[in-house]
Chain A
Amino acid sequence: MPRAWMSTPAMLVAGLLAASIALRAENTAPARQPQPAAPAYAGPDDVHVRAGLTCVACHGAPQPGSTAEAPVFAPIARAAIAPLCARCHADAAYMRQFAPQVRVDQFAQYQTSVHGQQMARGEDRVATCSDCHQAHVILQVRDARSPVAPSNVAKTCARCHADADRMSPFGRSHEVFDDWSGSVHAAALLERGDTSAPTCNTCHGSHGATPPGVDAVANVCAQCHVREAELFRDSPKRPLFEMMGQADCLVCHSNHEILRPDDSWIGFESPAVCATCHDESGGGADVIRLFSEGLRGLRRDTDAADALVTGAEEAGVLVEDGHLALAAAREAHVRLRVLVHAFAAPPFVEALTEGREAVARADAAGNAGLAELDFRRTGLAVATLFILGFLVTLFLKIRRLPPIEG
């Protein structure tokens, strides 16, 4: 096993600098992976520094002729990087010393990936460990500065996959990053900071990165969209898609530029995705019509009830029941959008009925609030009349009092 050879911080920094110079020299060769600049940071957060490892752990002994104060190390061939990393990272007994639960199958997975298989065939332009994790400043995945932290993964992949020159020899699209950047997933991850939102490796795998096949797409999406996948698996649509060789979810939702679904996606006119295969006269038209009218109608009625409840509230009447009913109606709408994946009427109708009942409750609460408002104002008018009458009486009484002696 590798052992610490130099231990003083000065030697470590000198070694890292020298190694980076060597790597940079290697990177000037054509058709190499884009590498970050020389390690600008080799502080204690580097996982290898923290484990007590130094330059020689990977590079071996310094080049002959270099001094102990400024050692120069030989660069590591790209094809040798993954096996080199695997010397430690595939050794469960060794890795256990640092992190008892750490995975040790990364190299095995890499060998199954498109990257690993190409590399094994001698194509060293494909990604290897140091391309994603960096060569020297290797940070924990949970460290937000790491290039493989959830919020950075897409940008790291994009360094190659958004480069048309780099992708064209492999016949790959260079637009996937732009597509994903416009997706609901990217918005969740990058705008809302939801690190559980999917990025490249969520669907393609990390070390075993491979495009999911047609058969596997539904399973990939099902990692998060459990209920939708469950409904789809039991739906009449699945055998049809399989027969047609269509990639399940992708047929309607596409792959990278996955947008927030909208009620207008269901129907017979653009932008409805159903219209790709269906028209109003064909099979399934009744169900499509039910879905479309149900979703739009429930949203319209919920919005109207919301306006009623808000109107009553803005006038000063608390309509808490109305808010609860509106929440139930909106929740029913969300359920309806999920139930669309069953491609069948009965469960949809059941949820639609619940949604309409909730809207009716919200309407009733809003109307009760407005009626209460009328009651209050009528009551105030009556009370004001009594008060005015009392004030007039008082005024007349005061005027009839004996004059003040001066």
Chain B
Amino acid sequence: MALKPWLAERLPVAEIEAAIAHKTVPQHRHSIWYYLGGMTLFFFGVQVVTGILLLLYYRPSAAEAYDSVQFVMTRVPFGWLIRSIHSWSANLVVAAAFVHLFSVLFLKAYRKPRELTWITGVLLLFLLLAFGFTGYLLPWNELAFFATRVGTDIAGAVPFIGEATVRFLRGGPEVTGATLTRFYGVHVAVLPAIATVLLGLHLLLVQYHGMSVPPSVEAEAARRGRRIPAMPFVPHFALRDLFGWTVALAMLAGLSAYLPWELGVRADLFAPAPAGIQPEWYFLWTFQALKLMPAYVLGISGELVAIAAMTLGAAVLVFLPFLDRNTPRSRHLVTWGAGLALLFMVAMTLIALAGGH
């Protein structure tokens, strides 16, 4: 029995084929940015596959975590490759997501009717950061241990619920094996479950609404009385996507072979913190901003002010489609605001990388 007729009797195969055949992607001078979403999805897929493979050997306890990762790196056939790809891809997925976010922001793709696409996308970025934060601790090495201690300490500055939040995050007053087990559970169960729902919704909305055309391109086409060219999704866009993904795969393989991810020194709970403890690069700007804050601002703890500002920034980001009134003035404001935010993040990161001076 042929598969297609068999499936057609049970699923709307013809409708799906028709939808795919009719699906197009606008073609203009900013179209290159449309590939960033697919690239982020590719790296996320790599994370899922390599993460599942690492799960086969990883042991989430303070006594065994480091040794199990070392076992993966030294004894398991191609274990070094899988772990290195997972670590490199973890960084590249965040990088791709940030570029995707800013491209959507600058091209104003969050406008009506894509508000929910934007909100699910921003929440997915936050989830990726949470994946990064929880996954960083799992090898249980010295850098990860102290970075987690510093990172979770920040939550303690929040009034009323700070201490309880720190205890909840750590599974106790200090970063211990209980924190590791907790982070592991969040990393491999809680976050993937939420990510599956959000990613499904995000992709569904992208398919439903199609790609957004930037206002400047729309205005130019209207002025010239021309239709914006469109590229068939299959095969034109899909093959280009595949080309990009293959390049990304080659890049991951090269990085893993020539710059395999270090395991570092085993965490010692009683050792003093080594010099130069820093979080992952995507948290460096927040880390540096917190460091540069004065102890008090108008009598309020500087750390608290920074946390409040970042929370406000995150809220503005999530609800941006509702704050932008879609007028030329508000769009201009968003472009400048996003540019300044990007400049601030890059500057803080560079200062932190230069040693915090």
Q: Which of A90-98, A169-177, A377-385 contacts B (4 or more CB under 8 A)?
A: A377-385
Quick one: CB contact mask for A365-406 with B, threshold 8 Å, 1 for yes? 000000000001101100110011011001101100100111
Q: Interface-forming stretch among B13-21, B147-155, B206-214, B234-242?
A: B234-242
The interface residues of chain B lying within 8 Å CB-to-CB of A317 are 80, 260
Find out whether the CB atom of A394 lies under 8 angstroms from the CB atom of B74: no
Chain A residues within 8 Å of B259, by CB: 316
A–B pairs, 30, beta carbons within 8 Å: A316-B258, A316-B259, A317-B260, A319-B74, A320-B74, A376-B80, A376-B81, A377-B258, A380-B257, A380-B258, A383-B253, A384-B253, A387-B249, A388-B250, A391-B243, A391-B247, A394-B242, A394-B243, A397-B235, A398-B240, A401-B236, A401-B239, A404-B27, A404-B229, A404-B231, A404-B232, A404-B236, A405-B229, A406-B27, A406-B229
- Chain A residues in 8 Å Cβ range of B257: 376-377, 379-380
Please measure, in the bound complex, the distance between the C-alpha atom of A390 and the C-alpha atom of B254, giving whole angstroms.
16
Contact of B103 with A by CB under 8 A: no
Is there contact, CB below 8 Å, between B250 and A387? yes
A350 to chain B, nearest CB (A): 31
Check A398 against B74 for contact (C-beta < 8 Å): no
Using a Cβ–Cβ cut-off of 8 Å, how many residues does chain A contribute to the interface with B?
Answer: 24
B73 / chain A contacts, CB cutoff of 8 Å: 318
Asked whether, in the complex, the Cβ of A394 is within 8 Å of the Cβ of B80, the reply is: no
Q: Which B residues touch A383, using CB under 8 A?
A: 250, 253
How distant is the Cα of A387 from the Cα of B249 in the complex, in angstroms? 9
Given the complex, which residues of A lie within 8 Å of B157, measured CB to CB?
none
Interface: B317 (CB within 8 A): no
Write out the residue numbers on chain B whose beta carbons fall within 8 Å of the beta carbon of A401. 235-236, 239
In Å, the complex CA distance between A379 and B84 comes to 15
A319 to B70, CA, bound (A): 10
Q: Does B263 lie within 8 Å of A394, measured CB to CB?
A: no
Which one of A380, A394, A398 lies within 8 Å of B246 (CB-CB)?
A394
Q: Which secondary structure dominates chain B's binding surface?
A: helix
- Complex Cα spacing A384 to B257, Å: 11
Chain B, residue nearest A406 (CB): B229
Smallest beta-carbon distance A9→chain B, Å: 41
Asked if residues A318 and B80 are in contact (CB atoms below 8 Å), the reply is yes
A384 to B236, CA, bound (A): 24
Q: Which residue of A lies closest to B262 (CB)?
A: A316
What is the predominant secondary structure among interface residues of chain A facing chain B?
helix
Q: Are B253 and A318 in contact (CB-based, < 8 A)?
A: no
Asked whether A398 and B253 contact (CB < 8 A) given A404-B236, A405-B229, A406-B229, the answer is: no
- Among A318, A320, A398, A404, contact of B230 (Cβ-Cβ < 8 Å): A404
Which B residues lie within 8 Å of A388 (CB)? 250
Q: Are B246 and A390 in contact (CB under 8 A)?
A: yes
Say yes or no: B74 contacts A318, CB within 8 Å. Answer: yes
Contact A387 B240 (CB under 8 A): no
Asked if A398 and B239 sit within 8 Å, CB to CB, the answer is yes
Smallest distance from the beta carbon of A386 to chain B beta carbons, Å? 10
Which residues of chain A from 284 to 332 have any CB-CB distance to chain B below 8 Å in the complex? 316-321
What chain A residues lie within 8 Å of B242 (beta carbons)?
394
What residue in chain B is nearest A372 (Cβ atoms)? B80
Which chain B residues lie closer than 8 Å to A405 at the CB level? 229-230
| Binary flags per residue of B185-224, CB closer than 8 Å to A gives 1, else 0 | 0000000000000000000000000000000000000000
A376→B81 CA distance, assembly (Å): 9
Interface residues of A in 341-362 (CB under 8 A from B): none
Identify which of A316, A379, A380, A401 gathers the most chain B CB atoms within 10 Å of its CB: A316
Closest to B231 in A: A404
Q: Complex Cα distance A320/B250, Å?
A: 29
List residues of B (247-276) whose CB comes within 8 Å of A's CBs: 247, 249-250, 253-254, 257-260, 263
Q: Once bound together, how far apart are the Cα atoms of A406 and B228, in whole Å?
A: 7
Alpha-carbon separation in the docked complex, A401 to B80 (Å):
40
Q: Choose among B81, B249, B263 the residue that contacts A318 (Cβ–Cβ < 8 A).
A: B263
Knowing that A377-B257, A388-B250 are A-B contacts, what are 16 other residue pairs whose CB atoms are under 8 Å apart, sorted by A's residue number? A317-B80, A318-B80, A318-B263, A321-B74, A377-B258, A383-B250, A384-B254, A387-B246, A387-B253, A391-B247, A394-B242, A398-B239, A398-B243, A401-B236, A401-B239, A404-B232
